[in-house]
Homo-oligomer: A and B are copies of this chain.
Amino acid sequence: METEKRYEAGLDTMKELFSQEVRNGMEGIKQISPDLWEMIVSFGFGDIYSRNTLSHAQREVITLTTLITQGAFDQLRVHLQAALNVGLTKEEIMEIIIHCAGYVGFPKAVHAMGIAGEVFKGIEE
């Protein structure tokens, strides 16, 4: 696949995951480093997220889990929104966090649940 097509595939996948507002925020990286941005879109969302075998919902289960485990809470918020966008329910998201509690300990689970609570509240309003 040519680079241009990989980039297009990545943008298409991002549209399914993230709202226009979130994507605008993510483009801040494009202003700083167009090369990192190109890799995120073409490799991260084009090569990886656009693959078959796992659905977008299953991929967000993986993404939420790895973000919680590595303590990358800075990126958790947009992926909590993405998880809801691709069909995971609030109950399922909270269940992922509960499952993580046994595997990464309570501190990171509690931190994640606090952010999830904020994201859920923001959507209700």
Q: A residues within 8 Å of B by Cβ?
A: 1-3, 28-29, 31-33, 35-36, 39-40, 43-44, 47-49, 51, 53-54, 58-59, 61-63, 65-75, 91-92, 94-111, 113-114, 116-117, 120
Distance to closest chain B CB from A73 (angstroms): 8
Distance to closest chain B CB from A23 (angstroms): 14
The A interface is mostly helix, strand or loop, or mixed, namely: helix
By CB atoms of chain B within 10 A, which of A47, A95, A106 has the most? A106
Distance to closest chain B CB from A89 (angstroms): 8
Q: Which residues of B contact A97 (CB under 8 A)?
A: 33, 36
**A72 touching B32, Cβ below 8 Å:** no
